[in-house]
């Protein structure tokens, strides 16, 4: 039978809205992939009474409670004390953690306070989780038929500790393995894909298939449960193959995370380079590509040409083109893509020009009208997008993000369509 | 006396980790500014029994419960039914909402299903909250001495509804007004600022002063409670003035949200333009500046020159400079900043070159070494940053973000230092 777990995030800064609680998502996603059910998230402040109350409630509903936060060195960080007390365990100095904390401060060349050593006091008999990105160790505490997993609050510390130490621990508890693959789609709407696949998705038991939509993309997650990893993979293979066969034009990768990673990977594999000329996206394409480690091999040059003068000077767009058709036109998009390819010497040039809003729209060229140009020796095209939705909130970011996604998709298209 | 409220987010996609629960933060921040206490966040799935249980618990602890999600048109969206049932209210067709939904689909030129009209069924006697960015109206339900505020799940719909309709409603319930201002710092650490101001912050009762740190910046929020808005402003004025006097070199703005908005504003006010030449930030500076509506007036041109060839061709960096000092050097940063200023004709040129990692670091030039160049007729400088922390997770994004922040801060510095 599947286990269930509850997530309990501790920190007054969460309740005050000073930070977004991203930890709950990271934990939930990992637990979902293991097949551990999560029925509730809770966040409470750094307050021992309210934390105790939330712990009682969570353990009444579940065998496993995962907490984040409250492991800091200051007087108001009381998670560890409260949780150890729930299990009736005293705190003891954990020498390897004390040494690690000293080494951490030594490496940072910063002075260490005595209060930092409070972070090395751990519940007796717990499994200590090493923190390689901060000073607060985590812990797994088993007792009273329950398990508490205490993790630090900062996502940069919590995420690797969870992925590298907690997930393997939880996987070992289970009598089966759960494996999943993520299939990434671009250019097809969630409702379209869901309506085409609804029957199959509802009929499938193992593996399962579930759709997730975000920012103009759809991801299908296929998940299989089996006694061994190899068996789980074998179950998923035909599902992935049949989707690939059915949607070749929409699937941009499996387990690739996002369009920019897929684009960098495909360019590398093909031995090609790309360059971007951006007007309305204003650097978003370049930013996303260079987010990917190692992107320098395939993306050496981008031009952000918001102003018409910059389009002419940097990219060699004709003044007459701008005058006759305007900056937001297929003609300008084409000359921008050609221009940045010439300028950079890259194999593929991509461009965007459009109206990101909120101002600057006209009846003829409304907010959300974007042209994406693609230039290469074997493929030249301009795609017209209508991304305006009439939102009166957040539409500029929406349009800029989607336009950069379409540009990345065009880079993929060009890289994949090169003749042998 | 202050009211307290609980936030209850509804949606299986939250528990599966498919989305980050940003709504809780937006709601918490707004409630904190109104002086409404929030002691707990909860998230549950689209499951009427578990939602009912969570509602019972939340109303046992508070008079106000704010929910998000579960107002969609499909069979598993049951928040409205469950909450109306808690108050013992039937659902009735709300004609203005039905008309708005029809108009919404008409505007999108998409076919409307009958199930969409389910979204116009509202609890009898509630206050309907209009949704101008989607189809699900929200509602305020008062009864049994309690108040439920139901909001849609998508942040683009939830946020404006909350800010424009719910906050004014809650403010009216209070017998005082709460006003706050946010003072933004860059270049000073949270612990330094906090240790310098701790005594004052602890002694202050009205207004209060609280620090928040994020991604290398610190924000101090000053909040005053008073019978009138003018009175609240009068209480805050001397606090803000004294901070401005004490930290002129670190405060980059009040209520400006972020460095890019401050930079665009200062450039506009000064009638100046800026351009960016980016190597390790790869478009991040341009992306952040062009996030700001109206930035085209002050930022017309950026160059993303990851490759050495691009630095030479676009920016006129000397081959000999690259050969002698390397791409990551103060000399290259200087020539990049000069080059992009010349290329663009802007008043201020800024540049970045560095090692973003995770690979490419050496003993001499480790991951995190970044040079920021600034070029103008009146100020030319190169700043050396050491941003590496040895994180084995997320460090690339950390370095790139901080480097772009420093570059924006240099644009501000240049704009503010122009001689009369």
Q: What is the ipTM of this complex?
A: 0.87
Residues A271 and A246 in one domain: no
First to last CA, chain B: 52
Nearest to A39 among B39, B45, B343 (CB): B45
Q: What's residue B113's pLDDT? A: 72
Domain encompassing residue A275: 259-416
Q: Are residues B71 and B219 in the same domain?
A: no
Let me know how many helices (H) and strands (E) chain B has, helices first: 15, 17
Binary contact (A390, B107; C-beta < 8 A): yes
CATH label of the domain that carries residue B140: 3.40.980.10
Domain's final residue, options A111, A140, A173: A173
Over residues B277-295, the mean pLDDT reads: 97
Instruction: Report CB contact under 8 Å: B304, A301.
Output: yes
A80: which strand partners? none
**Residue A327 belongs to domain with CATH number:** 3.90.950.20
B301/A289 CB distance under 8 A: no
pLDDT above 60: residue B1: no
CATH of the domain at B217: 3.30.70.2860
Same domain, A124 and A79: yes
Determine the 3-state secondary structure of B380 from DSSP.
Answer: strand
Which residue, B205, B230, B254, sits at the end of a domain?
B254
* Binary contact (A16, B24; C-beta < 8 A): no
Residues A183 and A198 grouped into a single domain: yes
| pLDDT value at residue A73 | 78
Give residues 116 to 135 of A whose Cβ lies within 8 Å of B: 132-133
The nearest CA of chain B is from the CA of A319 a distance in Å of 16
Are residue B233 and residue B136 in the same domain, yes or no?
no
Do A279 and A162 belong to one domain? no
Task: Say how far apart CA B145 and CA A5 lie, in whole Å.
Answer: 34
- What are B392-408's pLDDT values in tens digits? 888 999 999 999 999 99
A84 within 8 A of A52, measured Cβ to Cβ? no
Q: Is the Cβ of A12 closer than 8 Å to some Cβ of chain B?
A: no
Q: Judge whether residue B372 has pLDDT over 60.
A: yes
Which residues in chain A have their CB less than 8 angstroms from residue B344's CB? 310, 313
pLDDT in tens, B311-355: 999 999 999 999 999 999 999 999 999 999 999 999 999 999 999
Model confidence pLDDT, tens digit, residues B9-43 = 999 889 989 889 999 999 999 998 888 999 999 99
In the predicted structure, residue B102 carries a pLDDT above the cut 90 = no
Interface test with B, best of A302, A341, A370 (most B CBs within 10 A): A302
Question: Which residues of B fall within a CB distance of 8 Å from A41?
Answer: 9, 14-15, 21, 41-43
**Quick one: pLDDT at residue B23?**
97
Measured in whole angstroms, the distance separating CA B210 from the mean position of its chain's CA atoms is 18
Spatial CB neighbours of B68, under 8 Å, sequence gap ≥ 6: B7, B8, B9, B10, B11, B23, B27, B151, B152, B153, B158
All residue ranges of chain A with pLDDT < 50 are: 1
Count how many domains chain A has.
3
Tell me: do A271 and A299 sit in the same domain.
yes
- Asked if residue A308 and residue A240 are part of one domain, the reply reads no
CA A181, A183, A189, A194 torsion-angle sign: negative
Across the interface, whether the CB atoms of A32 and B22 are under 8 A apart is answered no
Q: Give DSSP secondary structure letters for B61-78.
A: H-SEEEEES--SSSTT--
Whether residues B306 and A293 touch (CB distance < 8 A) is answered with: no
Q: Are residue A102 and residue A229 in the same domain, yes or no?
A: no
Distance from the A385 Cα atom to the nearest Cα atom in chain B, whole angstroms:
15
Q: Do B293 and A396 touch (CB under 8 A)?
A: yes
Same domain, B208 and B339: no
The last residue of a domain, from among B254, B285, B301? B254
Check whether residue B47 and residue B189 sit in a common domain: no
Bridge-based pairing state of the strands B369-375 and B380-386: antiparallel
Q: Per residue in B6-17, pLDDT tens?
A: 999 999 889 989
Inter-chain touch A19–B38, beta carbons under 8 Å: no
How many Å lie between the alpha carbon of B46 and the closest alpha carbon of chain A? 10
Nearest to A63 by CA among A195, A182, A173: A173
B277 touches chain A (CB under 8 A): no
- The DSSP secondary structure of B385-412, one letter per residue, reads EE-----SSSHHHHHHHHHHHHHHHHHH
Which chain A residues are within 8 Å of B394, Cβ to Cβ? Answer: 155-156, 159
- Cα of first residue to Cα of last residue in chain A, in angstroms, is 52
Q: Which of A18, A108, A397 would best serve as a mutation to test chain B binding (most B beta carbons within 10 A)?
A: A18
ω before B286 within 30° of 0 (cis)? no
pLDDT at residue A109, rounded to an integer: 63
Chain A CB contacts of B192 below 8 Å: none
User: For residue B50, which residues of chain A lie inside 8 Å, CB to CB?
Assistant: 39-40
Average pLDDT of chain B to the nearest whole number: 93
- CB nearest A15 (choices: B41, B302, B359): B41
Kindly tell me if the per-residue pLDDT of B57 is higher than 90. Answer: yes
Query: A43 touching B, CB under 8 A?
Result: yes
Q: Are residues A357 and A249 in the same domain?
A: no
Minimum mean pLDDT among A132-136, B109-113, B294-298, B367-371: which range?
B109-113
pLDDT of residue B108: 63
Q: How far apart are CA B146 and CA B2, in angstroms?
A: 15
A7 contact partners, CB below 8 Å, separation of at least 6? A23, A24, A27, A28, A38, A40, A41, A42, A65, A66, A67, A68
> In the β-sheet with B127-129, what is the strand arrangement from edge to edge?
A127-129, A138-143, A146-151, A64-68, A4-10, A37-44, B37-44, B4-10, B64-68, B146-151, B138-143, B127-129
């Amino acid at each position: 039978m599947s286990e269930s777990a509850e997530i309990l995030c501790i920190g007054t800064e969460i309740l005050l809205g000073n930070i977004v609680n991203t930890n709950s998502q990271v934990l939930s996603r990992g637990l979902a992939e293991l097949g551990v059910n999560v029925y509730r998230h809770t966040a409470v402040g750094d307050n021992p009474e309210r934390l105790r109350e939330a712990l009682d409630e969570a353990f009444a509903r579940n065998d496993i409670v995962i907490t984040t936060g409250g492991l800091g060195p200051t007087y108001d960080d009381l998670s560890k004390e409260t949780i150890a007390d729930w299990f009736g365990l005293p705190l003891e100095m954990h020498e390897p953690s004390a040494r690690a904390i000293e080494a951490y401060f030594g490496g940072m060349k910063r002075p260490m306070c005595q209060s930092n050593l409070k972070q090395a006091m751990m519940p007796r008999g717990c499994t200590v989780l090493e923190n390689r990105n901060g000073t607060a160790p985590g812990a797994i505490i088993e007792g009273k038929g329950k398990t508490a997993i205490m993790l630090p609050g900062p996502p940069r510390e919590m995420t690797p500790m969870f992925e590298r130490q907690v997930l393997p621990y939880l996987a070992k508890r289970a009598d089966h393995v759960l494996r999943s693959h993520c299939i990434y789609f671009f250019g097809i709407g969630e409702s379209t894909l869901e309506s085409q696949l609804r029957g199959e998705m509802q009929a499938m038991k193992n593996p399962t298939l579930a759709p997730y939509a975000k920012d103009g993309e759809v991801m299908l997650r296929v998940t299989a449960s089996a006694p061994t990893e190899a068996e789980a993979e074998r179950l998923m293979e035909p599902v992935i193959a049949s989707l690939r066969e059915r949607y070749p034009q929409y699937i941009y990768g499996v387990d690739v995370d996002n369009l920019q990673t897929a684009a960098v990977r495909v360019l590398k594999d093909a031995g090609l380079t790309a360059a971007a000329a951006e007007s309305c996206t204003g650097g978003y394409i370049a930013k996303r590509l260079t987010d990917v480690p190692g992107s320098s091999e395939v993306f050496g040059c981008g031009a952000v040409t918001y102003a018409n003068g910059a389009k002419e000077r940097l990219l060699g767009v004709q003044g007459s083109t701008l005058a006759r058709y305007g900056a937001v036109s297929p003609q300008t998009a084409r000359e921008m893509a050609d221009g940045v390819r010439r300028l950079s010497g890259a194999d593929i040039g991509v461009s965007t020009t459009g109206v990101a809003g909120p101002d600057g729209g006209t009846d003829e060229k409304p907010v959300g009208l974007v042209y994406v140009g693609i230039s290469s020796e074997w493929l030249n095209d301009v795609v017209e997008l209508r991304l305006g939705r009439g939102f009166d909130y957040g539409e500029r970011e929406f349009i800029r993000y989607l336009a950069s996604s379409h540009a990345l998709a065009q880079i993929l298209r060009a890289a994949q369509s090169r003749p042998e």
